[in-house]
Structure 1
C-alpha cells in the first residue's frame, strides 16, 4: 500500500472540517503547516514530512516545499506509542511497532521520527518525518525540531483564542446593533397607533358622560382593532429590522443559541401569560450556531409567536423550544400543542403565492407571509426550515443551521 497524494480541489470537499489546518492558513500564502514541515525536514536533512491533526479528514504531506493532501485514517491509539516520551526514533522501545503501523498506512520508509502535538495536556495531532536513508538522527537537532513543534502548538493556541475573542466581540456587536435597530423601529412605527389609543382612551376616561352607547361602541371597536393591529405590528418589527432599503444583508457570526432564545422568550412572556400558555426552554447553554443573529432572532420570534397564537388556552397549552446537534448542524425545534394543520396547509405554508389564513385560538389573524420571510432568512443562512403537523394535536417547526463557519462555507459551495 502506498500513500495516495493529491492536490487540493475536487477531492477535498471536506476541507471545512479541518479547523486547525484552516487556522494555520493551509489555503493562504502564509501556510504555517508547509513552513513547519519544510523547517523540520531541513533541520534533520530528511526528505518527507507529514502532519495530521486529530479528527480532521485530511493530512498534509510536504516534500521540497510542495504540500499535498491525503486521506487521514483514524489514529486514536497513536498517542499510546510514545510512552510519555517527547518523540519516537530508533532508540525508542516502540520504534518497530510504530514503523509497521505507519507502513501499513502507506508511509514507506527506512528511517523516521515522529512527534506529538499537545495542547492543554492532550494530543491534537502528530508529525512524521521520514525518508529512505539509514543515518541516525542527531539528538540536538531533534530537540530543536521538538521546540519548533511546541512553537506550532503555541501558534494554534493563539489563533484559537483570537478566533473565540473575535466571535464574542462580533456577537456582542451584533446584539447591540439589533437592540438599537429594534428600539428605533419601535419608536417610529408605534407612535401613530399609540396616539390614537391614548386619544380615545382619554375620551372614555374624561368625557364618558357626554357619550351615548353608540359612541362608546364605536370607540371600543376602534380600540380593539387598533390594539390588534398594533400587536401584529410588534410581531413584524424584528422582520422589518432585518431589512435595509428592501435588501437583506447576511452577517454571520458564531453565537450562543441560548442567549437569543432567552431574549425571544422574555419578549413574548406577557403574551404567553395572557393566553395561559407555558413557554418551555430546553436549549443547552453550550450550543452554538453560525448564522446571522438578527435573522435567526426574527425566525425564532416569529415561530414562537405563531405557536402561541395557535395553541389552546385551556391552561394545558405548551410551547417547547429544544435543540440537538450532529457533526455539522444544529437542529432547533419549536413545538406547540395547538390547532395543527392539514397536509394542504403545510404544502402551501412557505409558498409566497399563497396566504395561509388560519385564525388563532383567541381569534388572531392567520399566518400571512411571515413564514415565507422566515424561510428566506433560513435559506440565506445555508439552513433548512420544515414543519410537521397534525390537526388538533399541534405543530413542530424545525430549523437546521450550520454549527460553524467551515460547514457554512462548504454548504454554500
Structure 2
C-alpha cells in the first residue's frame, strides 16, 4: 500500500533519499565499483569505497549464500582498522551484479554512544578536578618549600651573626678590659696613679657595653630557641620608663645629652616587662650613641584607637635613606660607630623587632640624615590605656 502511494512521488522520494543525513544508501557492482552513494553514505566512505566495509567485508557480502534480494541484515561497520569507524543498522540487497546497501543510525546505538560521550565528559571533568587539586597541592608544597628556604636563610644568617658577635664583638672588648685591668694593677703596684681614673672609666664603659651586648645576646639566643617566655602584665609605663632612663643618666651626662620623658603619669600598659625593657633600653642606648653632645632624646606615647604607640626620637646624625630598610633585617643588618666612636652589632634592633612582634605590635623608623631619627613601636590595647586626665609635665633627665 505504502509503495503504491509513494510511487506517485518518485522525484520527492528520490530527493529525500539523496539529501537525508539519517539514511545511508550505496550501490556497488560486484566488481567493487561504487555506482552510487548519497551524501550520508559518502561521508562514511574512504578513498577505496569497497574497502570501507570492514564488518562484514565486501567479499563476505558477495559470497553470501543468497544470490538475490536480501543477503544481509544487521550492523554494517564502515571505516578503517587504524582509525575511527562507524556502524549503521542496514539491509543489504543483491540483484544480479549489483549490491544495494541501505541503512541508518540505530536509536539504541545513538543512546549508547551518547551515554559514552557523557561518561567521557564526566571522566574529563573528574580528571580536571583532580589536576586542579594536584596543582593546588603542588603550589602549596612549593610555597612551603620557599618558606622553609627562607627560614634556612634566616637560620644561616642567625648562625653567622652569632659567631661574628662571639668572635669579634665580645672578644675585642674583653681583650681591652683585660689590657686596661692589667695596666691598672701595674699602676697600683708601682703607686703610679697618673691617669688611673681615666683608665678605670674606660674599663667601666667597656664593661657596661659588654654587659649590654651579653644581655642582648642571651635574650636573642633564648628567643631563637623558644626558651623566652611571654608573660604580659599590666603596669605603669611612666614609672617603668623612669627606671630605665636612670640607668642611662651617667652615660647621657657624659655627652651632655638631655633625655626627656613625655609619658603621662597615668599611662597603663599591658606587656611583658622583660621584653619591653629590652626594647626601650636598646632604643634609648642607640639614641645616645648616635646623638651629638648637647643633644636631646625624647620618649613619648600616643593613645591610638587600638594600641599605645611609643616613640623614641633624637636630633642626632640620622640614618642614610638606603640603610633604613636594612635596620630590622637580620640577613642585611649593619652597625655604624657612634658620635664618640661607640661600637654596635645591629643585634639590638633585631631584638626590638622580635619582641614588639611578640606583643602583636609593629616597629618602624623615620629618619633624615643629619637631622635625627624617631623610632615608633606599638603595643596593642589589650589592657593598655591612658585615662582622661591632663598629661603630666615633661621631665628632663640629664
**TM-score, with length taken from structure 2:** 0.47
**TM-score, with length taken from structure 1:** 0.45
